[in-house]
Amino acid sequence: MTRVKRACWYVVLFVVPYGGVLWVALYNRMEPALFGIPFFYWYQFAWIIVTAIITAAAYFNKV
């Protein structure tokens, strides 16, 4: 894949976390809880980690 094409793919990937956290109705609920933490909280917490992985992958793929 060319560099430009790869970059385009990553821009698409980058948008995914935005969808994940901006669609509030998707996660504004209590269950399933994790270690006593309601879904609302650990769901957003998890997106931090996913976002970090996406940016790290972009970096290692020299995007």
Is residue 59 a contact partner of residue 7, using CB atoms and an 8 Å limit? no
CB of 28 to other proteins, least distance (A): 5
Helix (H) and strand (E) counts for the chain? 2, 0
* Subset of 23-42 contacting other proteins (CB under 8 A): 23-25, 28-30, 33, 35-38, 40-41
Cα separation, 55 vs 11, whole angstroms: 10
Q: Which residues are near other proteins by CB under 8 A?
A: 11, 14-15, 17-18, 21-25, 28-30, 33, 35-38, 40-41, 44-45, 47-49, 51-56, 58-59
